[in-house]
Amino acid sequence: MRNTELEKLDGLVGEWMTTISDAWFLEPPGAQVPGSTIVEWIGESFLVMRSEFAGGQHAHSEMSLVLGRSDPNDAYIALYHDDRGVCREFAMIFDGGHWTMTREDPDMHQRFIADVETDRILGRWEASEDQGKTWRKDFDLTYERT
């Protein structure tokens, strides 16, 4: 039986065209990197998001998120992994219209902030190297349902 709080994530399920844009690390300025994301249920308890990005002169990259829930803590949780071997844990809030993921680790703080529509998610990744006192945008991330 699917958890009622996890059921709220069902609108994420499907195939998405993704675009990284306005990234401080991309050259030339204004460059965009296209990608694709597939979101699907793993049993009744988790969602997995698998994304691939590549385009033009930009290197191919892959990342995965597993979204779940801790009922005792009344909280969503996201586990992240990418093709660099990086693994991270994010606290997550999702109310259907807004989606945030945050981590406050010793190496840096990060957050993903997004507005969620039926067929589009407009988000941005930000980082802080001073424990969240100041933030810089890493990049915008747009999802368009296919």
Q: What's the mean pLDDT when you consider all of the chain? A: 95
* CATH domain 4-145 topology: Lipocalin (2.40.128)
Domain boundaries, the chain: 4-145
- Which pLDDT score is estimated for 29? 87
**pLDDT over 70 at 63, yes or no:** yes
Q: What is the pLDDT of residue 102?
A: 98
Under 8 Å between Cβ of 114 and 123 = yes
Cα 8 from Cα 73, distance rounded (Å): 17
Q: Is the pLDDT of residue 27 over 90?
A: no
- pLDDT number for residue 142: 98
pLDDT > 80? residue 56? no
Confidence of residue 100 (pLDDT cuts 50, 70, 90): very high
**Which residues, 6 or more positions from 16, have their beta carbon under 8 angstroms from its beta carbon?**
36, 37, 38, 39, 121, 143, 144, 145, 146
pLDDT at residue 70 is higher than 70? yes
Query: Residue 81, Cβ neighbours under 10 Å: how many?
Result: 14
pTM: 0.93
Tell me what pLDDT residue 59 has.
Answer: 77
3-state secondary structure the chain: CCCHHHHHHHHHCEEEEEEEECCCCCCCCCCCEEEEEEEEEECCCEEEEEEEEEECCEEEEEEEEEEEEECCCCEEEEEEEECCCCEEEEEEEECCCEEEEEEECCCCEEEEEEEECCCEEEEEEEEECCCCCCCEEEEEEEEEEC
Q: Which whole number is the average pLDDT over 51-66?
A: 87
pLDDT tens per residue across span 115-136: 999 999 999 999 999 999 999 9
pLDDT, tens digit, 9 for 90 and up, residues 76-93? 999 999 999 999 999 999
